[in-house]
Amino acid sequence: MGTSQLMLANGKTGEAEEAIHIGLEVADTVQDENLRGMLLVSRAHAQAAAKDWEGARTAVEEIANGPQRTSALVDIAYCAAEEGHAQLALSWATAEASPFSEASVLVSIAEALLHQPRQTFFIR
């Protein structure tokens, strides 16, 4: 990616983050947890697209709704594994308190690994 393309991508990420921040303020003002959750899912996706794995994970941790949280974690774990960070995604899965959430994340990681070119993976 060229410098101008990178600056454009960073600018778009910044714009998205600003819009999400404003949306979160509105959701807090009107006390809408569903809207707050959707915006945090968007933040997690934006962070994952920017390859900010810790930022994405932090956004997921703020989601109060269990199904929304699990869905977002599944998505960012897939992205992380697809980008070569399967071990990191695996640590997210094993840290889950919910067996359903852990299993969902593990399946997502497996799917990401299956879609990669043939490689040998060493996951402990």
- What are the residue boundaries of the structural domains of the chain, listed by start? 3-114
pLDDT at 112: 95
pLDDT at 120: 56
pTM given for the model: 0.77
pLDDT tens, position by position, 45-98: 999 999 999 999 999 999 999 999 999 999 999 999 999 999 999 999 999 999
Query: Is the CB of residue 64 less than 8 Å from the CB of residue 36?
Result: yes
Mean pLDDT, the chain, integer: 84
Query: Is the CB of residue 72 less than 8 Å from the CB of residue 63?
Result: yes
pLDDT category, 1, cuts 50, 70, 90?
very low
pLDDT at 12: 64
pLDDT at 64: 92
pLDDT at 5: 42
Mean pLDDT of 15-41: 80
| 62 C-beta neighbours (distance < 10 Å), count | 15
User: How far is residue 34's CA from residue 85's CA, in Å, rounded to a whole number?
Assistant: 30
What distances in angstroms separate CA 99 from CA 22, 67, 104, 124, one per listed residue? 34, 13, 8, 19
pLDDT tens, position by position, 102-119: 999 999 999 999 987 765
Mean pLDDT of 5-23: 64
